[in-house]
Amino acid sequence: MIDDIRAKRNVKVLVAAQAILGSQMPMIFLVGGLAGGSLASNICFATLPISMIVLGSMISATPVSAIMQKYGRRAGFFLGAAGGAAGALIAAYGLLISSFPIFLAGSFLTGIYMSAQGFYRFAAADTASDEYRAKAISYVMAGGLAAAVIGPQLASATSLSLSAVPFVGTYVAVAVLNIVGSVLFFFIDIPKPPAPAVDAPKGRTRMELIRTPRIAVAVICAMVSYALMNLVMTSTPLAVVGCGIAGYTSVPPFFADMFAGSETSAMFKVIAGFVVTGHVLAMFAPSFFTGHLINKFGVERIVGSGIAILGLAGVVALMGVELENFFIALILLGIGWNFGFIGATTMLAGAHAPEERGRMQGLNDLLVFGGVTVASLASGGLMNCSGGTAEAGWAAVNYAMIPFLILAGGSLIWLSLRERRNQIA
């Protein structure tokens, strides 16, 4: 019987890490495209800094997973925080000297943190029983709820601090978060995987793993959920500004009060305080009950619901470019990502043996963040270079979701029919 006392203690540490260190991701995703647009010679490359973060995460996923398999989760998490701090400081320097290449290099290193953060959810499952696994993953993801509040507020408060150059202070604050937050990892209690004996089972190869139907569908759904969320979220600040939402005056009082006295522009207040904060809250708030829903209704139904909600987000976005459309679409986008990604993670965690953990989890995140890299690269091009207007670009971004939603939904239906036939047989 796995001791869930240890698992619950680890979950508390990982929730705190998700809340504190995780707040850097909404900060960077919020300002990255705007900072990139101020440095790039071509507006089509405005979202390239975010793409570089995701590319760094994709490339580092396999080595970070291998380090965790050999030296333990703690070593990998410290490495991630170090990469996040170094990347943020280099990005800040790039902004100071107006160097787009240096800013991109810092963004790339930041991807090491993003990769390590992706393993928080797997770490939560390491010491958990089968009954507690879905809840453990869900609770750790819920730590992002605090990050959704902390991150945009820090971005707003620091965007014009320390320097006359916008956003330098934001990146310095990200470096501080990594240094201070990494102290939490001293309290993690996940045993280092034992060195395999000569006669120990080796597990399946990467090719054998990815050809396993349940694993393949879990990876597809995780890729689609994360990539589509990133595709739309990355272009949202550009769409809000491009579609003239900067002049919108009826921002709800809560958000107006939150950013009262800030020196940032009214446009930035709307983006940070309303659309982005609402989206990130929607990404993580459902995590308090996603695990319960998975246990009650089954993981396939929850993943399917997530895919459907992502599709609904696209429908709302295509209905208009008023602030309400952006807000509701981004709320639905966050909920759809939560159900789809947490569900797919739970599917994957129960589909491989312990000796296959490092191999499969590294491969999964390599593929997932590979898809996210393509999505973030496509986001800027679709938004800024499709149709000649911001409205046409925003429509192109949302239409691009359709084939991938069909892929994920179709794979889930195929898996359900296949497993039903096997049960009958």
How far apart CA 152 and CA 253 sit, in angstroms, is: 17
Residue at 199 is within a domain: no
Number of domains the chain contains? 1
Placement of tokens 């508390």 in the chain: 12
pLDDT tens column, 107-141: 999 999 998 998 898 888 888 887 888 888 888 88
pLDDT tens column, 74-90: 999 999 999 999 999 99
Quick one: pLDDT at residue 272? 45
What is the residue-averaged pLDDT of the chain? 83
Residue at 196 is within a domain: no
How far apart CA 14 and CA 16 sit, in angstroms, is: 5
Residue at 198 is within a domain: no
Quick one: pLDDT at residue 182? 94
Residue at 395 is within a domain: yes
Quick one: pLDDT at residue 129? 84
Average pLDDT over residues 181-186: 94
Residue at 193 is within a domain: no
How far apart CA 17 and CA 23 sit, in angstroms, is: 9
pLDDT tens column, 184-200: 999 998 887 766 666 66
SS3 readout for 20-89: HHHHHHHHHHHHHHHHHHHHCCCHHHCCHHHHHHHHHHHHHHHHHHHHHHHHCHHHHHHHHHHHHHHHHH
> What number of other Cβ atoms are within 10 A of residue 72's Cβ?
16
pLDDT tens column, 371-405: 888 887 788 778 877 767 888 889 999 999 999 99
How far apart CA 316 and CA 358 sit, in angstroms, is: 39
Average pLDDT over residues 41-51: 78
Q: Which residue range(s) make up the domain with 144? A: 4-188+204-424
Residue at 85 is within a domain: yes
pLDDT tens column, 333-376: 999 999 999 899 889 887 877 777 778 887 888 888 888 888 87
Residue at 194 is within a domain: no
Report the CATH number that the domain containing residue 395 is assigned in CATH: 1.20.1250.20
How far apart CA 371 and CA 230 sit, in angstroms, is: 10
Instruction: Pull the structure tokens for residue 252.
Output: 């709800």
Quick one: pLDDT at residue 103? 94
pLDDT tens column, 3-40: 688 888 999 999 999 999 999 988 887 788 778 877 87
Q: How far apart are the first and last CA of the chain?
A: 32
Residue at 197 is within a domain: no
pLDDT tens column, 264-302: 445 544 554 567 778 878 888 888 888 889 989 999 999
